[in-house]
Amino acid sequence: MISPDLVKKIQEILQASRRIAVVGLSPREERPSNRVARYLLGAGYTVVPVNPGHDELLGQPCYPDLRSVPGEIDIVNIFRRSDQVPSIVASAVDRGVKVIWMQEGIVNLEAAVLAEKHGITVIMDRCIKVDHQNVFSEFKMR
């Protein structure tokens, strides 16, 4: 069961954020990262693909890493193995990102501590799409 405090925190994050970097976005439609990114685009967010193997994904310019992304990033949504998270978080710290969101199944306490030490909010082991659907019920049927 999710605590009311976490629900409120997630709602505030999703309302305040507009630009989401999706690290590990796959070009394959059946992959969770692709489904989540398409959902976020449909919900009105700007999605910034981060995947070193591609120049464009979902009609958006794709960047090899967070350091290459121009402009501000509100949320870094991570679809990489847990052992790869610390270097992603280190880049997010350098970028001044506000929120690190580790997708369902991704947990790295060391990276979470690093992020929080630098004032970054961490959501871990949760799906941003599912949480958005639960917070904003008008998107549940998509």
pLDDT digits (tens, 9 = 90+) for 84-141: 999 999 999 999 999 999 999 999 999 999 999 999 999 999 999 999 998 887 544 4
- Looking at per-residue pLDDT, the higher value among 80 and 137 belongs to 80
Amino acid at 83: D
pLDDT of residue 3: 83
- 114 vs 132: CA distance, rounded Å: 25
Average pLDDT (78-89) is: 97
Q: Which CATH number fits domain 4-139: 3.40.50.720, 3.60.15.10, 3.75.10.10, 3.30.56.10?
A: 3.40.50.720
- 64 vs 99: CA distance, rounded Å: 20
pLDDT of residue 135: 86
Q: How many CB atoms are closer than 10 A to CB 105?
A: 12
